[in-house]
Amino acid sequence: MKVAFFDTKPYDIPGFDHFAAGTDLEIKYFETKLNEDTVSLAAGFDAVCVFVNDTVNARVVEKLYEGGVRVIALRCAGFNNVDTRACFGKIHVYRVPAYSPYAVAEHAMALLLTLNRKIHKAYNRTREFNFSLAGLSGFDLHGKTVGVIGTGKIGRIFADICRGFGMNILAYDKFPAANSGLNYVTLEELLAKADIISLHCPLTEETYHMINDDTVEQMKPGAVIINTSRGALIDTESLINGLRTQIIGGAGLDVYEEEGDLFYEDQSTHIVHDDNLVRLISMPNVIVTSHQAFLTQEALNNIAQTTVDNLVRFSKDQGNQDTEVCYRCERQDACRKQRHEKCF
């Protein structure tokens, strides 16, 4: 099986080379992202491997199919960048649903701790031998209320970490996790009571811009927002307005809704023309990291192993139903995925 690997970074290659050794996979690494302009590179390949900022819309899907691609392997959990309906009946799509929930949950807490205790500011000061404590005050996490929006594996692990700090936990999820022990409340109650709000839900039509002008107005004044999920969960203009009016006390962001052409690349010698991102980074109570929450060695190995396994099993006509996405085919009365069968 010939695999076109898009948006390749140096940390991707060792793990994939290791787990693909001894298999029938022949991987060609491309540094460029997959989109309408680059899809021709996949012609003649059996599969493509893509990441979060690759664009796999209906036109790209059609070109991939025409070029012989029959499987898309996402080396991530989210698949909002793939038009799954366009793929149905043509190209199978697999993902890595749980590469390391601990990595992402721990990064969310790292953002919160850094933002609250001004670690980034203290680090920069002491490198210049400035040991003043002025402006470095934070608050105790113990006794504070954290609202966890989205209680999949990552959200539940983040809640466990917060519980270890002695925090009170409120949870919101359209589909509450059974036997989780979490205190589920309405979104309105969570927003009104939470000192910290952490987003751990997927990006869907329902969750798009769930943090907006209306929900910001419902927040407890001074609430801190943490987002390690998907950037478009937050309306950036609403976030900036909330920070400016001090309804929002701070934001720790590992994702940004317009990150596609910026994140994962060195922009230090360029003028960034995204005014909203520039405004956010310039704010003293905002921390932005470049979608790195997943980036631990354990996670990279799990991603490579699961992705290679998905491709190998597909090549042997043994597709893994646990990792194949739902194509929203609207055949719910006869859903093959629920019967653990190939969707098509």
Residues with catalytic roles: 230, 259, 291
Alpha carbons 122 and 149: distance in angstroms, whole number:
30
Alpha-carbon Rg for the chain, nearest whole angstrom, is 21
Contact 48, 42 (CB under 8 A): yes
* Beta-bridge partner residues of 82: 56
Q: To 10 degrees, what angle do helices 119-127 and 101-117 make?
A: 70
* Beta-bridge partner residues of 324: 94
Place of tokens 């402006």: 135
- The DSSP 8-state label assigned to residue 210 in this structure reads -
- The DSSP 8-state label assigned to residue 56 in this structure reads B
| Phi–psi pair at 331, nearest 5 degrees | -105, 55
